[in-house]
Amino acid sequence: MDETAHLDTFARDKLPPRELWPEFIFPLPELRFPPRLNCAAWLLDRHVEAGNGGRPCIRAPGLVWTYAELMHQSNRIAHVLVQDMGLAPGNRVLLRSANNPMMAACWFAVIKAGGIAVATMPLLRAKELSEVIAKAEVSHALCDARLAGELHAARRVCPTLRELRCFNSSGPDSVESLAAAKPLTFVNVDTAAGDICIIAFTSGTTGKPKGTMHFHRDLVAICECWPRHTLRANRDDVFIGSPPLAFTFGLGGLLLFPLAIGACAVLVEKTAPEMLLAAIAEFGATVCFTAPTSYRAMAPLAGTVELSRLRKCVSAGEALPAATRALWKERTGIEIIDGIGTTEMLHIFISADEAHARGGVTGKPVPGYVACVLDDDGREAPPGKVGRLAVKGPTGCRYLADERQAQYVHDGWNVTGDAYLVDAQGDFVFQARTDDMIISAGYNIAGPEVEGVLLAHPAVAECAVVGLPDPERGQVVTAFVVLKEPAAAGDALVKALQDFVKQSIAPYKYPRRVVFRASLPRTETGKLQRFRVREEDH
Ligand code: 3UK
């Protein structure tokens, strides 16, 4: 590997042992990287150098930044980090903010200065922040002033955190004030392509957070794979969406991918379905990234706003039910691009574009990646057989000092924890998380398949199908259902929903128990928290 630019080698020293790394493959010409690579230069400065500094780069309510303006602001903040905050290459810098332009500028500043960006979800509280800070030995933090309270609280138990500055604030000590006095130019730290650039903590719903480490070249690699081959947006596109930049789905979709092609990103803080829909209309967005439930919630309102410029809609984070795909298509005419990605792989690796999309199917490996389904003996399973999804590509899992590395990587494959099958057309079909498969009276039942049927029933707004302990069957298939009209709840509707499932799929999969709920527990990234659904029943 080429010589590191990091003076602080903490993260590099905490990489997993080589024998536990996944195999990395670079099967496309665009995946040949120079030995020295700072991804901020590639994503941002490159466009200014090419004479495109005047093109719009970041938009937000009441604001447009050109490529040159974002570059200048990040250069100035990079000086703040180095001069005022004493940042050394390789130091970890925590970023805490909703999606807004200053968050993007700070992210670039950290990367330009050779720091390692550790972005965190806005909803994290002091306890979770302190776990992340301790694990990554974070020394510096840049925080939106409106979210500083929890970080100040966390700091009391975080001796490694030496320097903290706030932005989106006008005080004399704010990042903006300090930055205003700095030069517009900054000499980017000449990082190796294989230097660590971000640590992304998994949005995992159970257990201690895992930090996944990604190199400068990894951030470029994901831009050259799925966006180039499947999304196929162009420089006139306007990207928008809901996932936080701290979630790699959002980092890619709302910052890296638009900038990689010289397009424009709209960053909005309020992303509840009706707000996102209004913002799509207001900014004339053409490419939208959000979660399946968000499309489902936006669909009934789609007729009330002007969406004529919207042309590409991306769904990830959890399985896209066929009913949601059909509903969105009916209301907007747009075929959703579904894709499975993970924090470990950095972004999407199996997907289908608009022309190849089919209900209930994720798609095929994205160019640059190979995938297969493994049986219980670790061999490739034949078509139609359910097994564990395994993938390799230019990116892959490298946990920061974590024994769970050996659970994710087997024989060079990244094993995501998802149960999948490959169908007769070679398409990958999601079944369930491996540990969410329901085993009832000897049958294997995938909750999401039953959910997919229930979502097609006109009375159902949202649902979750899980296995609950049962003395006779081991587990009993249980559906938690949120109704469009709560008053419709009752025995008659329970029976109607059960019959509806029995008529659509094998009858043994029908939910023997149906429980009506006002809402379902979800993460900040739109994922259903199945373990909470199960626990809350008792
Ligand atoms: C599930 C999906 C079916 C699946 C992510 C796009 O979600 C992302 O990363 P996470 O680490 O979670 C990974 C897990 O989420 N999942 C994600 N997308 C799909 N299941 N169909 C899908 N389309 O269980 C996977 O193992 O939070 C998604 C890009 C970047 C990401 N980090």
Q: How far apart are CA 523 and CA 123, in angstroms?
A: 10
State whether the beta carbon of 341 lies less than 6 angstroms from ligand 1: yes
pLDDT at 172: 94
Q: What is the DSSP letter of 509?
A: G
pLDDT at 534: 87
What distance in angstroms lies between residue 417's CA and the mean position of ligand 1's atoms? 10
Q: How far apart are CA 219 and CA 500, in angstroms?
A: 45
Split at pLDDT 50, 70, 90, the class of 205 is low
The protein residue with its alpha carbon nearest to ligand 1, atom 9, reads 342
Whether 330 has a pLDDT exceeding 90, the answer reads yes
Whether 1 has a pLDDT exceeding 80, the answer reads no
Q: How far apart are CA 112 and CA 189, in angstroms?
A: 6
What distance in angstroms lies between residue 203's CA and the mean position of ligand 1's atoms? 10
What distance in angstroms lies between residue 50's CA and the mean position of ligand 1's atoms? 35
Whether 537 has a pLDDT exceeding 90, the answer reads no
pLDDT at 118: 98
The protein residue with its alpha carbon nearest to ligand 1, atom 7, reads 317
The protein residue with its alpha carbon nearest to ligand 1, atom 10, reads 342
CA 469 to chain centre: 32
- Residue 4's CB is within 10 A of a number of other CB atoms, namely 16
What distance in angstroms lies between residue 165's CA and the mean position of ligand 1's atoms? 32
Torsion angle of alpha carbons 153, 155, 158, 159, nearest 10°?
-140
Residues in contact with 239: Cβ distance below 8 Å, sequence separation at least 6, in sequence order: 233, 253, 254, 257, 258, 263, 264, 265, 266, 285, 286, 287, 288, 289
Q: pLDDT for 470-482, tens place per residue?
A: 999 999 999 999 9
Q: pLDDT for 95-104, tens place per residue?
A: 999 999 999 9
State whether the beta carbon of 292 lies less than 6 angstroms from ligand 1: no
Mean pLDDT calculated for residue range 98-122: 98
Q: How far apart are CA 38 and CA 75, in angstroms?
A: 14
What distance in angstroms lies between residue 349's CA and the mean position of ligand 1's atoms? 10
Residue environment code for 398-415, b if the CB has 16+ CB neighbours within 10 A, otherwise e: bbbbbeebeebbeeebbb
Whether 530 has a pLDDT exceeding 70, the answer reads yes
Please give the model's pTM, rounded to 2 decimal places.
0.96
Q: Kindly state the helix (H) or strand (E) to which residue 414 belongs, with its residue range.
A: strand 413-422
Split at pLDDT 50, 70, 90, the class of 140 is very high
**Which ligand 1 atom minimizes the distance to the CA of 315?**
23
Torsion angle of alpha carbons 172, 174, 175, 179, nearest 10°?
-10
Q: pLDDT for 285-308, tens place per residue?
A: 999 999 999 999 999 999 999 999
Strands 474-483 and 513-517: parallel
∠ CA(447), CA(429), CA(523), 5° rounding? 50
The residue type at 433: R
Give me the residues paired with residue 371 across strands.
391
Whether 538 has a pLDDT exceeding 60, the answer reads no
Mean pLDDT calculated for residue range 48-52: 98
State whether the beta carbon of 8 lies less than 6 angstroms from ligand 1: no
**Total residue count of the chain as it appears in this document:** 538
Whether 203 has a pLDDT exceeding 70, the answer reads no
The protein residue with its alpha carbon nearest to ligand 1, atom 3, reads 319
Do residues 263 and 238 make contact, with C-beta atoms less than 8 angstroms apart? yes
Q: pLDDT for 220-261, tens place per residue?
A: 999 999 999 999 999 999 999 999 999 999 999 999 999 999
The protein residue with its alpha carbon nearest to ligand 1, atom 23, reads 340
